[in-house]
Amino acid sequence: MLIKNVRVFHLDSGTAEATNVLVEDQRITAVGSDVDGPDACDGNGGLLIPGLIDCHVHVAFPGAEGLPRSTRVLEAVATLSRLRARGITTVRDAWGADAGFKHALGEGWIEGPDLLVSLRQLSPTGGLGDWWDADTGRLDRIDDPALPDAVFDGPDQARAAVRRMVRAGADWVKLGAGAAMAALAEGRDVRPTDEELHAVTDEARRAGRDVMAHAHTAAAATAAARAGVRSIEHGVFLDEQAVAAMREHGCWYVPTLAPIPAEHGEAHRRSLALAMEAGIPIAAGSDLAPRPHVDLLTELRLLAAAGLGPAGALRAATSDAARLLRLEDRGRVAPGLRADLVLLDGPALDVTDLAGRIRAVWQAGHRVRG
């Protein structure tokens, strides 16, 4: 298949060049103005970008209390399909989806982006990840055997928790390095000890996994970065010390601007500015847990407005996101890479209304929209 008469976004320069793109099987085989081929799709001068990558979603996060477990699964089916239709072809789930979702996608039972799962968020007793219910006394409000117990106390239990996740099919290990926003507001911030943090990252490394760390405060982000996590998620209240620790230890930043309450917006944007000034690599994530869902297209608009600009925002959701997730086969429009592609109306490098501009979406060379 030939996708002709398009402008391809060049990630390094931030420019778009008129060209044609040849796709064979699941791969891009040629890119150039003189490239020809069969089954031509005329892009009418539109912008062709790589399939978008959301590095922080919750496609199957528990919703309202009292509903059967099946509602979480069935909602996820619709969510996954909607994400792919909006140009999002790869996602990293940050708590909620189990390995069965990956199997269903692979078998074609359901439709959606490629899915990397972390299963549940590890945490010490009382931390974010310990879903204890004070009203009923239940120790696990999720209570799903496909999502193993995530609570630990002490380094040995932390290692065991990592092993449980790996055994159940986790691609990533999710760690609660600090409290949720609501707990912080109440003065509750139960965090892992440094020894526990290092045990999690070391055991994950031994199993060939990376660690993503929920951390709102500077203290949580600093400790997690020093322990060797791959990415800091949220980081609403970073400071110079936290950013220095992230830079020293090669840590990524996934800011998730979209779901954070407006009263913390200024502090969050300051954290992003500190990270940018320090050269911290930034990848895009929407944090899809709150309902109604706010997905990556909104996050890109916020990232652009916060200082990345449209080119930087698109990089954060394509080539840089692929680097964070160690997915070397996607994230750019280049020969040899997987043909995850999104065709937008018009040549403008603009992210303010991506949803309204999508003309077609390809995933691994197959047209899935348009």
pLDDT, one tens digit per residue, over 325-336 is 999 999 999 999
Amino acid at 346: G
pLDDT of 135 reads 77
User: Collapsing DSSP states into helix, strand and coil, what is residue 124?
Assistant: strand
CA distances from 57 to 190, 231, 244, 255 (A): 23, 14, 27, 12
- Which residue matches tokens 């799709």? 41
Q: What is the DSSP string of 308-342?
A: IHHHHHHHHTTHHHHHHTT-TT-SS--TTSB--EE
Q: Comparing C-alpha atoms, which of 211, 132, 103, 229 is closest to residue 166?
A: 211
Segments of the chain with pLDDT less than 70: 64-65, 137-139, 141
pLDDT of 41 reads 95
pLDDT of 64 reads 67
The pair of three-digit structure tokens given for residue 319, joined into one six-digit string:
């080539």
The pair of three-digit structure tokens given for residue 306, joined into one six-digit string:
């916060």
CA distances from 368 to 73, 106, 111, 114, 341 (A): 22, 15, 9, 13, 10
The pair of three-digit structure tokens given for residue 100, joined into one six-digit string:
């069965």
pLDDT of 138 reads 65
Q: Comparing C-alpha atoms, which of 168, 122, 124, 172 is closest to residue 146?
A: 168
Q: In residues, how long is the chain? A: 370
Asked if residues 273 and 235 have their Cβ atoms less than 8 Å apart, the reply is no
- In angstroms, rounded to a whole number, what is the distance separating the alpha carbons of residues 78 and 73? 9
Would you call the peptide bond into 292 cis, given omega within 30 degrees of 0 as the criterion?
Answer: yes
Identify how many contiguous H helices and E strands the chain contains and give both numbers: 12, 16
Asked if residues 120 and 360 have their Cβ atoms less than 8 Å apart, the reply is no
- In angstroms, rounded to a whole number, what is the distance separating the alpha carbons of residues 119 and 313? 27
On whether the pTM is more than 0.85, the answer is yes
Asked if residues 212 and 228 have their Cβ atoms less than 8 Å apart, the reply is no
Count other C-beta atoms under 10 Å from residue 180's C-beta.
Answer: 17
- In angstroms, rounded to a whole number, what is the distance separating the alpha carbons of residues 184 and 287? 18
Q: Comparing C-alpha atoms, which of 174, 79, 173 is closest to residue 128?
A: 174
- In angstroms, rounded to a whole number, what is the distance separating the alpha carbons of residues 146 and 95? 12
Strands 2-10 and 41-50: parallel
pLDDT of 291 reads 79
List beta partners, residue 213: 175, 232
- Which residue matches tokens 């949720």? 180
